[in-house]
Amino acid sequence: MNMTDSPKSTIPQWKWYVVAMMLFATMINYMDRQTLGSISTFIKAEFKLGEEGYGQLEAVFGYSYAVFLLLAGFLADRVNLRWLYPLALLVWSAAGFATGFVETLFQLQVCRIILGGGEAFNWPVAVGIIGRIIPRESRALANSVFNSGMTVGAVVTPLLVLALVKPSGEGWRQMFMIVGAIGLVWVVAWQLVTRGERAAEIAHAPAKATDFVPVPFVSVFRLRKFWIALALGVAVNMSWHFYRVWLPRHLVIDLKFTDQQLQYLLIAFYLTADVGSIGIGYLARKFVSATCSVERARKKILLLSSGLCLLATPLVFIPGREVMVPLYCIVGAGLMGGFAILYALIQDVSPQHTSKCLGAVGASSWLINSLLHPLVGRYADTHVNAMGKFAPMILVAGVLPLLAALFALTWPEQKEEEQKEEKHK
């Protein structure tokens, strides 16, 4: 029986423990990454950076992330994931910790490069593990759970900023050290949760995939599914990381919030995004039934999530910050929901090449982002308009996910592919 027509599978509880552990790893990942954005005012003052200089700092992280995503994708499909995951986490945590000791801009850039290289392994490994241990109809939900660690980390980070960093900026170095040290606790817990018989199922890809026809990796580039996943990945990543990097600057520069108020606003933004991630992942599983296949459920939910991203468009009418801040929060929910569906689609492209596909999609996205960040900063340094320095990019970021979602409507049904295979036999 086709899995799209079967009842929802019962998943052993330990597998959800593994998903929860990956949520915490993703939380630590984002805390190490987001610390820079949460205290960007003090970083810019310390190293005498303009908006373009700050964009270049984000770019060096992004270039490293893009390169190592490709490496991470290839390694994650070949080596023991139970050990690769904690090793990568130790690398990025060490880079975050070392940031607290930097004295020059060059040292800061080196730390960001190493941080990007280590953090690049999180998603190829986590998405690969879920593809191995979670049934198809529940993967969007599992993806949304682990990926919600992004927003949990982004919520915890401003709380730590409020507790540790004074309005003068004193304490920002300790912030990096504390966040970097948290990774050690996770590594010990991971080894305990994944020990015994569980390790074998997590460690390596299965010898053969039962749901898909095996193909060599080069053949993936001839699959329509890969190009749909690539388009969606680029769109969602570009939009999300624009918000991650530049929303704090927009709130402070354009909407005139103080740096302390910014921390509370970021908490609200990421909490709403977290609700969107879990909620949209849950709906994608809930919609699956005898009359609604996994593919159709995902398409419906993807259109819903991308529609939420359009709610930034009232910015054109300059309605005021009391209106725009709640709308930005809802946009965050839509973007996070888009990630849950994106990862599920990538897991369906080719099970034996899941991590490589994610690496290719992610590297493309991060390369584009890294090229754009300095340009966004330069625009902000040299342009002023009534809507705000960052408003034009915010409007573009809201439209991209919907364009990709419309393209994703052409994703083939599994039954359709099976019928094609039968004709060729």
Per-residue pLDDT of the chain (425 residues; tens, 9 = 90+): 334 434 456 888 999 999 999 999 999 998 988 888 788 888 998 999 998 998 899 899 999 999 999 999 999 888 899 999 999 999 999 999 999 999 999 999 999 999 999 999 999 999 989 988 898 888 989 999 998 998 898 889 888 888 988 888 888 999 999 988 998 899 999 999 998 888 888 876 554 444 445 568 888 999 999 999 999 999 999 999 899 888 988 999 999 999 889 889 988 999 999 898 889 988 988 898 888 999 999 999 999 999 999 999 999 888 889 999 999 999 999 999 999 899 999 989 988 888 899 999 999 998 998 888 889 889 988 888 888 889 888 999 999 999 999 999 999 987 655 545 434 44
Structure tokens at 362: 């992610």
Q: What angle do CA 254, 243, 27 make, to 5 degrees?
A: 130
Q: Distance (Å, rounded) from C-alpha 260 to C-alpha 252?
A: 10
3-state secondary structure of 215: coil
Q: Distance (Å, rounded) from C-alpha 68 to C-alpha 359?
A: 8
Q: Whole-model pTM?
A: 0.79
Q: Distance (Å, rounded) from C-alpha 281 to C-alpha 150?
A: 15
Interacting residues of 346 by C-beta distance below 8 A, sequence separation 6+: 127, 229, 233, 354, 357, 358, 361
3-state secondary structure of 290: coil
Torsion of CA 285, 287, 293, 296, to 10 degrees: -100
**pLDDT one-digit tens code per residue, 185-234:** 999 999 999 988 888 888 765 544 444 455 688 889 999 999 999 999 99
For the chain, list the domains and their CATH numbers. 14-411 (1.20.1250.20)
Contact 354, 127 (CB under 8 A): yes
Q: Distance (Å, rounded) from C-alpha 351 to C-alpha 346?
A: 9
> What's the Cα-to-Cα distance from 323 to each of 30, 50, 77, 304, rounded to whole Å?
27, 28, 46, 21
**pLDDT one-digit tens code per residue, 32-89:** 888 887 888 889 989 999 989 988 998 999 999 999 999 999 998 888 999 999 999 9
Sign of torsion over alpha carbons 158, 164, 169, 175: negative
Q: Distance (Å, rounded) from C-alpha 204 to C-alpha 222?
A: 26
